């Protein structure tokens, strides 16, 4: 199959490219490299096009002949969306619409899009199931509601096969830790490996449903290969619930030593707890074997150690 991955030089995108190539697919990447890194694709036989999803010419160059599109390109930062809602909307909501329109122009009828657990926002119910009311608290979350609703609308209006995954807390190798808005696991592991104090925002009681990027890549690849479509969003998580305190303890076990903690105020817009109902995911993808969080953390720590030694 010929698969186009937008944002393919990013953390999840590059891991997906590895999985698709291992499965024998032809992979085309469109990435403006604003947050992605071409080094993530080193050694991978992919066709890389540097360009933006907001550039219709760039989209029209890469989409013809594709069997499927996995749309991962996005600005993935809650704090940045609060600082610049217009840029967030352009990249995430308008960008998704541009990809869907370009796919339709090119005759590509299968599109996978990435939404986020952030859409659940202030809704306190746990676990989060796909039919509960969304309650977005930030511009980022609003843009992700638009992302998934556009995909579903294109399925209804244009008979396009689409599926929108609500990503929860994905972690693993290639995840950046060198910017102000880094996700919690790379921020923690990077600091721990370097011997710095871990930047803990809040009291550590917050819980998240972490999922290893290898599991995510397998689900996305299977969605492509089977042409899976669904007229409702699908949680991409496994139903786990790990506190940041437990995460820190697991990192200490992985390193074989204690770590220091740099306690900071909680971030604006963060929700205290997040856990997925994974029923739909397991029904649609019963053959995907998830990587346990402990194994995923060991592999992540090892990747950071290897990077530090380079």
Which tens digits make up the pLDDT trace of 221-264?
999 999 999 999 999 999 999 999 999 999 999 899 999 999 99
Determine the Cα–Cα distance for residues 214 and 216; give it in Å rounded to an integer: 5
Report which DSSP code applies to 134: P
Inside any domain, residue 205: no
Inside any domain, residue 265: no
pLDDT digits (tens, 9 = 90+) for 167-186: 999 999 999 887 655 689 99
- Report the pLDDT value the prediction gives residue 241, as an integer from 0 to 100: 93
For 129, the token pair is: 């199931």
Q: Does residue 54 contact residue 98 with C-beta atoms inside 8 Å?
A: yes
Range of lowest pLDDT (23-27, 40-44, 213-217, 261-265): 261-265
Orientation of helix 293-309 relative to helix 244-255, angle to 10°: 60
Instruction: Say yes or no to pLDDT of 290 above 70.
Output: yes
- Report the pLDDT value the prediction gives residue 65, as an integer from 0 to 100: 98
Determine the Cα–Cα distance for residues 160 and 71; give it in Å rounded to an integer: 14
Inside any domain, residue 156: yes
pLDDT digits (tens, 9 = 90+) for 78-112: 888 999 999 999 999 999 999 999 999 999 999 99
Confidence of residue 45 (pLDDT cuts 50, 70, 90): very high
Question: In terms of DSSP bridges, do strands 26-31 and 169-171 run parallel, antiparallel, or are they unpaired?
Answer: unpaired
Inside any domain, residue 199: no
Determine the Cα–Cα distance for residues 169 and 202; give it in Å rounded to an integer: 17
Total number of domains constituting the chain? 1
Q: Which residue range(s) make up the domain with 166?
A: 2-170+211-239+276-290
Instruction: Say yes or no to pLDDT of 128 above 90.
Output: yes
Average per-residue pLDDT in the chain?
95
Specify the CATH number for the domain of residue 69: 3.40.50.720
Core vs surface per residue 28-63: b (16+ CB within 10 A) or e = bbbbbeebbeeebbeebebebbebbbbeeebbeebb
Inside any domain, residue 93: yes
Q: Cβ atoms within 10 A of the Cβ of 279, count?
A: 14
Tell whether omega for the bond before 21 is within 30 degrees of 0, i.e. cis. no
Inside any domain, residue 193: no
Inside any domain, residue 227: yes
Inside any domain, residue 130: yes
- Report the pLDDT value the prediction gives residue 180, as an integer from 0 to 100: 58
Collapsed DSSP state (helix, strand, coil) of residue 8: coil
Confidence of residue 77 (pLDDT cuts 50, 70, 90): confident
């Amino acid at each position: 199959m010929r698969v186009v991955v937008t944002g393919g030089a990013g953390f999840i995108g590059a891991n997906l490219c590895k999985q698709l190539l291992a499965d024998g697919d032809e992979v085309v990447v469109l990435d403006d490299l604003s947050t992605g890194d071409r080094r993530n694709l080193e050694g991978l036989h992919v066709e890389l096009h540097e360009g933006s999803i907001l550039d219709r010419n760039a989209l029209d160059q890469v989409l013809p002949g594709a069997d499927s599109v996995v749309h991962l390109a996005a600005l993935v930062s809650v704090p940045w969306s609060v600082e610049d809602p217009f840029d967030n909307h352009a990249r995430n909501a308008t960008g998704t619409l541009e990809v869907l329109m370009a796919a339709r122009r090119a005759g590509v009828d299968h599109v996978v899009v990435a939404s986020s657990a952030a859409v659940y926002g202030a809704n306190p119910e746990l676990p989060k199931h796909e039919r509960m009311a969304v309650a977005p608290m930030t511009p980022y979350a609003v843009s992700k509601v638009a992302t998934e609703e556009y995909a579903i609308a294109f399925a209804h209006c244009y008979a396009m096969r689409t599926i929108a995954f609500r990503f929860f807390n994905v972690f693993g190798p290639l995840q950046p830790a060198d910017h102000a808005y880094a996700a919690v696991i790379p921020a923690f592991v990077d600091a721990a490996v370097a011997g710095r104090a871990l930047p803990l925002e809040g009291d550590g009681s917050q819980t998240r449903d972490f999922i290893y990027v290898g599991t995510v890549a397998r689900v996305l690849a299977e969605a492509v290969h089977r042409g899976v479509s669904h007229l409702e969003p699908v949680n991409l998580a496994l139903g786990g619930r790990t506190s940041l305190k437990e995460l820190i303890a697991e990192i200490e076990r992985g390193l074989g030593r204690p770590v220091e903690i740099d306690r900071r105020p909680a971030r604006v817009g963060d929700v205290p707890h997040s856990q997925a109902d994974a029923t739909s995911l397991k029904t649609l993808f019963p053959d995907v074997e998830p990587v346990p969080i402990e194994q995923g953390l060991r592999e992540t720590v090892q990747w950071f150690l290897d990077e530090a030694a380079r």
